């Protein structure tokens, strides 16, 4: 199926998939969050709450991508991964951004590991040795480093350079229910590697004036990857971030984006929230920093939709 964006220029993207937004898990999540104290853990690191959900499903790799910076990619990657882990799905968070913001955003949860995604891609370190366990029983992290800046150049001379990440992840993909990849704000080889390895791509769009700036280029890149590198790549959906219902601008952007993408937009919206901005400075996802905050609840709503779409939710 093809989907056309009716903007100044039109870009046709094959493989867009439909899904239906649901709310069946909301009550269960709300009840769980209502009982949380300042920490989600019992003494010894055991999670205080988790949802019991089925395990009989194939692993899925979701890339969070948009070459425009400041749209909430890292925030979405971190909090989506943690929300999935709290739901008792084994989840691996991979930081493919040389800025390493996702790694910093969960630093309070992780154990030290001298190996990073750079070592896996360039130095031949087995991916199992670079994966770091966290305080969450169902969450692991593959961290980034500033050395990853050089990987764009170093990958150029490697045979089948677009498939390097896919080849590494094939060895461990079956160990996880979900693998969430945070991409850099560019469409270089690191992002291409992530798209080639992925099953689906989630596109965050900031509710600002330049929300659609460069989006056509990203969608065209996705189309090329679908055609030449990864025919099974699908678009998971478009996520509106930094939404402020008090502003006419946010409502206008929402209306415009929904007009372009119709039912491809997640019903969950990530509202502008102070707690989302504060949490990374403590090395925590928002669900651990303030589980009752608007930001935490917004990402729980997002995960509800993803799980329902994948047939992994229980009502």
Per-residue confidence of the chain (315 residues) as pLDDT tens digits? 333 333 333 333 223 223 223 233 343 434 433 443 334 445 444 444 444 444 445 899 999 999 888 899 999 999 999 999 999 999 999 999 999 999 999 998 888 888 999 999 999 999 999 999 998 889 999 999 998 988 989 999 888 999 999 999 999 999 999 999 999 998 899 999 999 999 999 999 888 777 777 788 889 999 999 999 999 999 999 999 988 878 888 888 777 777 777 778 899 989 988 999 899 989 999 989 999 999 999 999 999 999 998 887 655
- In a domain, residue 311? The reply is no
DSSP string, 104-156: HHTTTTBPP-S--HHHHHHS---HHHH-EEBSSTTEEEE---GGGGGHHHHGG
Q: Per 3-state DSSP, what percentage of the chain is helix, strand, and coil (rounded to 5)? A: 40, 15, 45
Q: What is the H or E stretch that residue 221 is in?
A: helix 215-228
pLDDT for the residue 244: 81
Please report, for the domain that includes residue 280, its CATH number. Answer: 3.40.50.300
- In a domain, residue 116? The reply is yes
pLDDT for the residue 315: 54
8 A C-beta contact, residue 258 and residue 251:
no
Total of domains in the chain: 1
- In a domain, residue 315? The reply is no
> How many other β-carbons are positioned within 10 Å of the β-carbon of residue 146?
11
| Integer Cα distance of 265 and 250 in angstroms | 15
Q: Can you tell me which residue has the tokens 């971030």?
A: 241
pLDDT for the residue 39: 40
In angstroms, what CA-CA distances link 179 with 115, 210, 219, 307? 18, 30, 22, 14
> How many other β-carbons are positioned within 10 Å of the β-carbon of residue 124?
8
Bridge partners of residue 271, in order along the sequence: 243
pLDDT for the residue 261: 76
**Which value, in Å, is the radius of gyration of the alpha carbons in the chain?**
18
Q: Is the dihedral of CA 212, 17, 11, 256 positive or negative?
A: negative
B/e letters for 271-296, b = 16+ CB within 10 Å, e = fewer, are bbbeebeebbeebbbbbbbbbebbbb
Does pTM top 0.85 for this prediction?
no
| Integer Cα distance of 42 and 60 in angstroms | 30
- In a domain, residue 312? The reply is no
Residues 6+ apart with CB under 8 A from 56: none
pLDDT for the residue 62: 98
pLDDT for the residue 209: 75
- In a domain, residue 156? The reply is yes
Q: What is the H or E stretch that residue 272 is in?
A: none
- In a domain, residue 120? The reply is yes
8 A C-beta contact, residue 261 and residue 253:
no
Largest CA distance in the chain: 57
- In a domain, residue 95? The reply is yes
- In a domain, residue 313? The reply is no
pLDDT for the residue 252: 81
| Integer Cα distance of 36 and 49 in angstroms | 8
Question: What are 122's two structure tokens?
Answer: 């360039």
Bridge partners of residue 14, in order along the sequence: 2
């Amino acid at each position: 199926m093809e989907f056309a964006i009716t903007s100044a220029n039109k870009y046709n993207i094959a493989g867009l998939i439909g899904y239906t937004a649901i709310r069946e898990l909301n009550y269960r999540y709300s009840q769980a969050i209502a009982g949380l104290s300042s920490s989600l853990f019992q003494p010894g690191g055991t999670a205080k709450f988790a949802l019991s959900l089925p395990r009989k499903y194939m692993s899925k790799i979701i890339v969070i991508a948009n070459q425009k910076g400041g749209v909430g990619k890292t925030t979405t990657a971190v909090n989506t991964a943690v929300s999935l882990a709290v739901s008792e799905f084994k989840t691996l968070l991979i930081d493919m951004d040389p800025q390493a913001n996702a790694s910093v955003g969960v630093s309070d949860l992780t154990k030290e590991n001298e190996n990073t995604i750079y070592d896996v891609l360039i130095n031949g370190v087995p991916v199992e040795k670079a994966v770091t366990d966290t305080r969450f029983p169902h969450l692991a992290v593959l961290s980034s480093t500033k050395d990853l800046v050089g990987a764009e150049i170093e990958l150029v001379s490697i045979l089948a350079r677009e498939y390097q990440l896919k080849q590494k992840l094939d060895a461990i993909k079956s160990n996880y229910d979900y693998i969430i990849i945070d991409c850099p704000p560019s469409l270089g080889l690191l992002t291409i590697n992530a798209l080639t390895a992925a099953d689906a791509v989630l596109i965050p769009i900031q509710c600002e004036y330049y929300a659609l700036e460069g989006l056509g280029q990203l969608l065209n890149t996705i189309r090329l990857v679908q055609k030449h590198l990864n025919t099974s790549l699908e678009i998971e959906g478009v996520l509106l971030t930094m939404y402020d219902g008090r502003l006419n601008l946010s409502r206008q952007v929402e209306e415009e984006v929904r007009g372009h993408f119709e039912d491809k937009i997640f019903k969950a919206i990530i509202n502008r929230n102070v707690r989302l901005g504060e949490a990374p400075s403590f090395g925590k996802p928002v669900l651990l920093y303030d589980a009752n905050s608007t930001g935490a609840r917004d990402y729980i709503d997002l995960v509800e939709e993803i799980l329902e779409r994948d047939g992994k939710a229980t009502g």
